[in-house]
């Protein structure tokens, strides 16, 4: 377990690094492709879109994978694929989507936004590297030093660079901790990445992202998506607009309000830690199963 006391200068430096790096990578009109994920993934996407508002070029199309229309992607558009922690074989479906996009658009510049990498099956490293190596203008962005050196070693045919997580793009748009409550939040993974655990912390509330999805408002906001899956009653354009402009912002505001009830968070979720840092809470890191948190904080914060 590691403790990180919030220091604004580290966040500010990451935002500057992100803005400069994205400006270099995005040198033309672009499309943004979002993938599946939890509330932490929504932070990644909304932060990325905020950062992309500052580039000189136009976002011609943004879409989730569920409602993508490949005909909307022009031959000269830069294709940006959302970052996260799913580059490898734990979440294989997302990696297969990246393969498909890479093969479908061999002439477009493609950028995979900041990723953590992890493989359990080494044979899949060679499979992915061979497919991505066929693309002549693919940039894979790592979000920590361990992932960066891994990608430099095994994906050497592609352009590899290092940038912080794009969720930091939300920093200046989020509220900040104003008063102490004496409460502690324990946010621990329950999935395949489950890592360190704690017990016997005074005045502690246990939580994970899925707990917010049980709220009535969350279920209400998902109603159009449930209707769409049963019978396509809306256009893809409307659903994409609804997700990016209504659902995602609500989820992120709700998460911020929930976190601000607490002074301190213990978490093995990277975006639990990043959100808490952006809100100026005290953060104790509990590593996930493959040290995603310590790799990230060791790269961009002083531990």
Write down the residue that tokens 């070693």 correspond to. 153
pLDDT of residue 2: 44
As a whole number of angstroms, the distance between CA 243 and CA 247 comes to 5
Please give the average per-residue pLDDT across 157-186, as a whole number.
96
> Residues 300, 69: contact at Cβ < 8 Å?
no
Q: What is the pLDDT of residues 5-24, one digit of tens each?
A: 457 889 999 999 999 999 99
Residue 4 CB coordination number (10 Å): 18
Q: What is the pLDDT of residues 170-180, one digit of tens each?
A: 999 999 999 99
Terminal CA-CA length for the chain: 11
Say how far residue 198 (Cα) sits from the centre of its chain.
25
> For the chain, what percent of residues have pLDDT higher than 70?
98
Q: What is the pLDDT of residues 94-110, one digit of tens each?
A: 999 999 999 999 999 99
pLDDT of residue 6: 52
Q: Is the pLDDT reported for residue 4 higher than 50?
A: no
pLDDT of residue 121: 93
pLDDT of residue 3: 47
pLDDT of residue 203: 80
- Token pair of 17 as six digits: 């690094």
pLDDT of residue 235: 93
Domains, the chain, ordered by start: 2-169 (3.40.50), 174-300 (no CATH)
**Alpha helices per DSSP H over the chain:** 8-25, 39-52, 92-104, 122-133, 145-154, 209-212, 216-221, 223-230, 236-242, 248-259, 270-279, 292-300
Spell out the residues 6+ positions from residue 136 whose beta carbon is closer than 8 angstroms to its own: 106
Q: What is the mean pLDDT of the chain?
A: 93
Spell out the residues 6+ positions from residue 284 whose beta carbon is closer than 8 angstroms to its own: 1, 2, 3, 4, 264, 265, 266, 267
Write down the residue that tokens 């199309």 correspond to. 61
Q: How many angstroms separate the Cα of 97 from the Cα of each of 100, 112, 154?
A: 5, 12, 19
Write down the residue that tokens 């953060």 correspond to. 283
Write down the residue that tokens 């993934």 correspond to. 41
Write down the residue that tokens 């939580």 correspond to. 207
pLDDT of residue 217: 94
Position 303 confidence tier, pLDDT thresholds 50, 70, 90: low
Q: What is the pLDDT of residues 256-274, one digit of tens each?
A: 999 999 999 999 999 999 9
């Amino acid at each position: 377990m590691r403790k990180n006391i919030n220091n604004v200068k580290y966040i500010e430096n990451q935002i500057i690094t992100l803005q400069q790096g994205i400006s270099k990578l995005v040198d033309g009109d672009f499309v943004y492709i979002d993938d599946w994920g939890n509330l932490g993934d929504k932070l990644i996407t909304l932060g990325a879109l905020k950062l992309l508002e500052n580039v000189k070029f136009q976002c011609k199309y943004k879409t989730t994978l569920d409602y993508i229309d490949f005909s909307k992607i022009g031959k000269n558009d830069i294709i940006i694929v959302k970052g996260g922690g799913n580059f490898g074989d734990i979440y294989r479906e997302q990696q297969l989507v990246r393969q498909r996009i890479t093969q479908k658009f061999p002439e477009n510049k493609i950028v995979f936004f900041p990723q953590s990498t992890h493989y359990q099956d080494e044979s899949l490293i060679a499979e992915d590297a061979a497919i991505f190596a066929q693309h002549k203008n693919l940039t894979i962005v790592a979000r920590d030093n361990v992932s960066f050196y891994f990608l430099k070693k095994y994906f050497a045919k592609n352009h590899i660079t290092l940038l912080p997580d794009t969720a930091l793009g939300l920093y200046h748009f989020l509220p900040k901790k104003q008063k102490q409550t004496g409460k502690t939040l324990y946010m621990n993974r329950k999935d395949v990445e489950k890592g360190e655990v704690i017990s016997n912390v005074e005045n502690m509330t246990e939580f994970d992202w899925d707990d917010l999805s049980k709220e009535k408002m969350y279920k209400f906001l998902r109603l159009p998506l449930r209707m769409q899956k049963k019978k396509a009653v809306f256009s893809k354009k409307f659903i994409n607009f609804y997700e990016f402009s209504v659902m995602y912002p609500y989820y992120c505001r709700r998460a911020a309000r929930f976190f601000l009830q607490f002074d301190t968070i213990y978490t093995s979720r990277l975006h639990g830690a990043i959100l808490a840092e952006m809100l100026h809470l005290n953060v104790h890191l509990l590593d996930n199963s493959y040290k995603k948190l310590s790799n990230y904080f060791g790269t961009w914060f002083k531990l």
